[in-house]
Amino acid sequence: MVDFSGILNASCIAIDVDANSREEVIRKAIELLQHGQKITQPETIYHDIMAREQLASTAIGEGIAVPHALSDSMQSTVMAVIRLKQPIDFNAPDGKPVDLFFIMAGPKNDTAYHLKLLSRLARLLHDPHFREQARSAATAENLAALLLEKE
């Protein structure tokens, strides 16, 4: 079973964040993961996620992006979630600016699990009702509960 409870907790979620660029959002997500003691090599993770972004934008449309990477520095998969105060351009296929970011990093040798999580997340994020709830969640805990109840 692929679920979010093993990779996400409320300490790695931030809402109403100020960020003006792709790099700034990803850095803030890395900080959340580091403060939540989910990663030990923040610079490596940042560079791995940015290298993935160079291949193609991870924006999926409807104001959502899923920056992610597989990294030699990861022992297990982790996720951070950021909701921006103001959306930013993220080269989305629909041209819409992005305000919801679901950032994942996992070990290089766990590609199958990583892809299953991405697929599960993509299905959830294509639900307009879920997107509306994510955008109106009052706290990080509410947003965490929203994700975890969808398992």
Any idea which residues carry the catalytic annotation? 68
CB count within 10 Å of CB 126 equals 13
Q: How far apart are CA 33 and CA 40, in angstroms?
A: 9
CB count within 10 Å of CB 72 equals 10
Q: Token pair of 65, please?
A: 């992006």
